[in-house]
Structure 1
């Protein structure tokens, strides 16, 4: 990354950082998409089982990955303030923390998985598929969290094309393994939805290995001497990383977990409704990769400019990123409005399921527009290292307002399952407004403290 002086230069650098991140996020989302899609083609019970398993796994994965992504603003600040020599040590501490987090998840899952699934009172076949899917995917937890740290460092250095290349390698690996293991092709076992979990676990090991090879042998990572010296765990470094990472992780967890909570609450509806809801959520999550990628880009760019004391440039990047996300959300809204039937057909061949998916996608139009404002705004706030208020706002918007509203509408009105989506829309809209208000306050505080830079 380089300092910029004009909006044209900023736009060029913004797109240079954003485009590879967007491709990377879409490819990562496509792994979940193909898990769900190919399981649905195998059978409705497999689609529902993978849907339940994914609903339990995704909030844990994204929330804990968010904690480890705290390495991104730390490294971008170090690079902006010309402290490149400290990067290798910080990344090593991130790897240690990822290992501890992985072990914590594995131990917790050993004791908690069966009781949670029993509590949900699922149909026996759906319960069995969800349990075995989660057991299979757990084999890839350690490399997945390790890759999160390495990738966060790669992106913080502005080398987002490297992350894109690694993920584009992973996608065909995952799809190919899904084909072999879900449908039992070429002599492989016919595992159904469980095969998607096995394929994902193997894929996580592949991308972690490739990422380590890149940072060890390629520039500019090689000159930073990443992983060339051994460093013991440091509680002080953990504290610094967690101070930024925990609020980020909680913010992401609150947002993703509310969607999973809705899916779990929908277990009281029939299997077709669960499958249709999850298919619609899965596609909406794929569209969410656009504002999420802009969010990650803004964290890198605003963190770099803020670390160098160029507050005017940091503010201009924020405006550019949030505006871009808002415009693109209108484009994706048109896709959902006019191509809903075609999208639904990607997930199922059953007319009743397709019809339900299409109805759910209409509601997805409204909350993805709010996401386009709220998510990039969080990225800007992370660039300023202002992370605590954001996770409080997310908690209030999603869990105090959104989910209870959805439950009341689904339980006591004729909206039924659609009531949950109305509640989500309300929560996301309020969250977007509160986050924008917080950003304005933070930028004014920085301008007051450093008037010459602003």
Structure 2
């Protein structure tokens, strides 16, 4: 990652970081896809069990991963300041936190998992599969969290291709492991849907092994000596990560749970409506990988420039990233709308489901634009390590605007389920506007402090 001087160079730098991150995100999506599809091939009850297990694990994982993402802006700022020793310290304490959080999650899971599944009143086979699937996943929790810390470190240096290569090498391994453990091939035990959990856990250890090898052996990373003096532990260093990471993690967690609650609220509608909503949401979630990938790159680039006190460059990256995300959201949204019936046809053969899904996808265009603004504005603020106000803004937008507006429109107007799409769009747009104003405020504050000589 190098200093840039023109908008052309900055645009190129964004895409140099963005493309590998996007491919990595698609790879992670593919792993969940393999788990679901191959479990469904085994039996419908195993498919349901894996789906339930995934719905329980995903909000927890995304929330905790948000904590580890704090390593990126902190390390990027230290890297911009040319404080390599402090970069290593941040990463080490991120690894310490990953171990501590793993222990806490496993202890909580030991006592709470069965009660949660019992509360859901699942069929015995579905209950057992969900439980065994999550137990299988738990064996990969530690390497997954450690991998996310090291991934944040690698991203902070702008070396995003490294993680892309690791992901592409691991995907075929994950596919093979799914096959042999779900169906019991080549002498392996036949575990059904639970096998997908164990396959994912083994793949997580492979992720970690390859990442550690690269960080220790390649000159770009080995000079930081991440794995030396691991006995040095400081709660103050952990607190810095948690101070930034907890609001980031909670923000991601609450955003994820809003969509889960909307899904629950939609259960009062007929099967056609529920199927159409899930189909449209799957399309939107897939496309959302583009702005979330831009966001990851943006946090690193803004953090790097802020660390070097190049606030003009940080400002240019911020708005260039937001503009790029919005333009891509408009482009992809228009393509989806133009081919909405063909896209809907990929998910169902029933005319009623196809028509309603196609209708939802029109609303999804505006949803994508709003989501692109809020995701990238929030990412830029993370680069400035400004997360607390941003968290409050998103919390208000998700829980006091998205849900109430969607509920009122869906239940007290003729819009029906479409009201939830409009509510989500209005809430995300409100978040995007508020976060953008906050970003302008922070940028002015940094510039004025630099001019007055009071910047620290």
Q: Normalising by the residue count of structure 2, what TM-score does the alignment of the two structures yield?
A: 0.90
Q: Is the 8 A contact 1:77 1:307 kept in 2?
A: yes
Equivalent residue for 1:249? Answer: 249
Equivalent residue for 1:387? Answer: 387
Q: Is the 8 A contact 1:120 1:267 kept in 2?
A: no
* CA deviation vs aligned residue, 1:331-375 (integer Å, no higher than 9, x gap): 221343244455456556777776665555444333222111111
Q: Return the alpha-carbon distance in structure 1 between the equivalents of residues 349 and 132 of structure 2.
A: 25
Q: Return the alpha-carbon distance in structure 1 between the equivalents of residues 330 and 123 of structure 2.
A: 39
Q: The residue matched to 1:224 in structure 2 has which SS? A: coil
Q: Answer yes or no: is 1:35 the counterpart of 2:11.
A: no
Q: 1:13 to 1:396 in 2, by over 3 A?
A: same
Equivalent residue for 1:89? Answer: 89
Q: Return the alpha-carbon distance in structure 2 between the equivalents of residues 120 and 177 of structure 1.
A: 30
Q: Answer yes or no: is 1:240 the counterpart of 2:240.
A: yes
Q: Answer yes or no: is 1:177 the counterpart of 2:184.
A: no
* CA deviation vs aligned residue, 1:358-409 (integer Å, no higher than 9, x gap): 5554443332221111111111101111111111111111112212333444
Q: How do 1:9-408 residues align onto structure 2 when only pairs under 5 Å count?
A: 9-40=9-40, 45-122=45-122, 125-186=125-186, 188-189=188-189, 191-266=191-266, 277-344=277-344, 360-408=360-408
* CA deviation vs aligned residue, 1:201-229 (integer Å, no higher than 9, x gap): 22211111111111011121111112022
Q: Is the 8 A contact 1:22 1:290 kept in 2?
A: yes
Q: The residue matched to 2:240 in structure 1 has which SS? A: helix
Q: Answer yes or no: is 1:435 the counterpart of 2:396.
A: no
Flag structure 2 segments of 5+ consecutive residues without an equivalent: none
Q: Return the alpha-carbon distance in structure 2 between the equivalents of residues 451 and 399 of structure 1.
A: 39
Q: 1:334 to 1:291 in 2, by over 3 A?
A: same
Q: The residue matched to 2:139 in structure 1 has which SS? A: helix
Q: Return the alpha-carbon distance in structure 2 between the equivalents of residues 44 and 369 of structure 1.
A: 36
Q: 1:372 to 1:40 in 2, by over 3 A?
A: farther
Q: 1:258 to 1:351 in 2, by over 3 A?
A: same
Q: 1:419 to 1:106 in 2, by over 3 A?
A: farther
Q: Is the 8 A contact 1:33 1:283 kept in 2?
A: no
Q: 1:340 to 1:134 in 2, by over 3 A?
A: farther
Q: The residue matched to 1:312 in structure 2 has which SS? A: helix
265-274 or 4-13, which deviates more = 265-274
374-383 or 329-338, which deviates more = 329-338
Q: 1:69 to 1:354 in 2, by over 3 A?
A: same
Q: 1:44 to 1:431 in 2, by over 3 A?
A: farther
Aligned residues: CA RMSD: 2.9
Q: 1:217 to 1:375 in 2, by over 3 A?
A: same
Q: Is the 8 A contact 1:51 1:275 kept in 2?
A: no
Q: 1:283 to 1:108 in 2, by over 3 A?
A: farther
Flag structure 1 segments of 5+ consecutive residues without an equivalent: none
Q: 1:360 to 1:121 in 2, by over 3 A?
A: farther
Q: The residue matched to 2:228 in structure 1 has which SS? A: coil
Q: Return the alpha-carbon distance in structure 1 between the equivalents of residues 147 and 230 of structure 2.
A: 18
Q: Return the alpha-carbon distance in structure 1 between the equivalents of residues 39 and 274 of structure 2.
A: 14
Q: 1:37 to 1:296 in 2, by over 3 A?
A: same
What is the aligned residue count?
Answer: 454
Q: Normalising by the residue count of structure 1, what TM-score does the alignment of the two structures yield?
A: 0.90
Q: Return the alpha-carbon distance in structure 1 between the equivalents of residues 274 and 45 of structure 2.
A: 10
279-288 or 222-231, which deviates more = 279-288
Q: The residue matched to 2:451 in structure 1 has which SS? A: coil
Q: Is the 8 A contact 1:55 1:264 kept in 2?
A: no
Q: 1:265 to 1:219 in 2, by over 3 A?
A: farther
* CA deviation vs aligned residue, 1:163-210 (integer Å, no higher than 9, x gap): 111111222222333333445555555544433323222221111111
Q: Is the 8 A contact 1:182 1:190 kept in 2?
A: yes
| Larger relative contact order (Cα-Cα within 8 Å, sequence gap ≥ 6) | 1
Q: Is the 8 A contact 1:23 1:164 kept in 2?
A: yes
